[in-house]
Amino acid sequence: MDLGYITIIIGMGLILLEAFLPGLNFPVAGVAVLIYGIFLLYAPQFALPSAVLAGLITAYIMKRFVYKTGLNVKIGAENLIGEQGDLVDEIDENNYGHVIIHGEKWQAKSENPIKKGSKVIVVGIEGVSLIIEELNE
């Protein structure tokens, strides 16, 4: 088997690996190796410069458009910090109750007693509970 075909397969494998190990670590190398393999088959004298150029362009595109969109991505309860909700259980000496935020019921905790139906704001997370405070309107 020709070296060009082998590098094309390796490059495609690196790009495909991104589907199984997400994190945007493999596309730059995958594109560079893929381009290197293609140029090895058709224009070997331009293989290395083309691969380096393709890798740099891919890295630029990834940094500029893909990595940038993932900044400060928060999922689950982290996304609720700063959000307001309605308390559905009175929080008394046991410090725990439930709050509705965006139509979802979450376990909540507060150091201070809060009456049922009060507006609250999420100020943090502790384990599986949202830390809330009564919203002063």
Say whether both 58 and 8 belong to one domain.
Answer: yes
- Residue 98 within a domain: yes
Say whether both 61 and 31 belong to one domain.
Answer: yes
Say whether both 60 and 81 belong to one domain.
Answer: no
**Residue 46's domain spans which residues?**
3-66
Whether pLDDT at 65 is above 90 = no
DSSP helix/strand/coil, 110: coil
Say whether both 54 and 94 belong to one domain.
Answer: no
Q: How many CB atoms lie within 10 A of CB 85?
A: 24
Model confidence band, residue 68 (pLDDT cutoffs 50, 70, 90): low
7-45 pLDDT, tens digit per residue, is: 999 999 998 987 787 766 788 899 999 999 999 999 999
**pTM for the whole structure:** 0.49
pLDDT of residue 71: 55
The number of folded domains in the chain is 2
Cβ density class 27-55: b for 16+ within 10 Å, e for less: bbbbbbbbbbbbbbeeeeeebeebbeebb
- Residue 71 within a domain: no
Residues 131, 101: Cα–Cα separation, whole Å: 13
